[in-house]
Amino acid sequence: MAKTKIGSRKTIDPEESLARLCAEGALEKKAEDVVILDMRGISSFTDFFVIVSGTSEPQLKAIASSVREKIRTSIGQRPIAEDGFPESQWVIIDYGGVIVHIFHADKREVYGLETLWNDARRIEIKE
């Protein structure tokens, strides 16, 4: 995707904007510990991870649904792929340049994506 200039000063990366929209969708369903990792330069398969936690299977389902709906209504994009189910306590929504990981809090600690990719820059999220 091409970058968009706003005014004469700021350039917005569309993949970063997509990651922020995914985070917003998750936060609308009270996702916890929302983190965006900038994977550019350290990953060949995506530009950003959005990692969030929920505390129950119904909440994981609601977060996933909210993320999909936020992206569909905001920019008309649908996921390339999805994997996992709330019962597995890890749901992945793949938008190509952005991959959303929705974990049950206990599973998130087990897999430790933030630790695995600790050299990735964290993007600030305003909640």
The CATH number given to whatever domain includes residue 71 is 3.30.460.10
The residue ranking higher by pLDDT, 84 or 86, is 84
User: CA 62 to CA 58: how far, in whole Å?
Assistant: 6
Q: What residue numbers bound the domain in which 59 lies?
A: 10-116
The first and second tokens of residue 112, run together, are: 């430790």
124 CB-near residues (< 8 Å, 6+ apart): none
Question: What is the pLDDT at residue 7?
Answer: 45
Q: What is the pLDDT of residues 38-53, one digit of tens each?
A: 999 999 999 999 999 9
Q: Please indicate, yes or no, if residue 76 is contained in any of the structural domains.
A: yes
| pLDDT band, residue 86 (cuts 50/70/90) | confident
Asked if the structure places residue 124 within a domain, the reply is no
Pick the more confident residue, 107 or 1: 107
Checking if the pLDDT of 10 tops 60, the result is no
Of 99, 97, 96, 90, the closest CA to residue 67 belongs to: 99
What is the spatial distance between Cα 78 and Cα 70, in angstroms, rounded to a whole number? 10
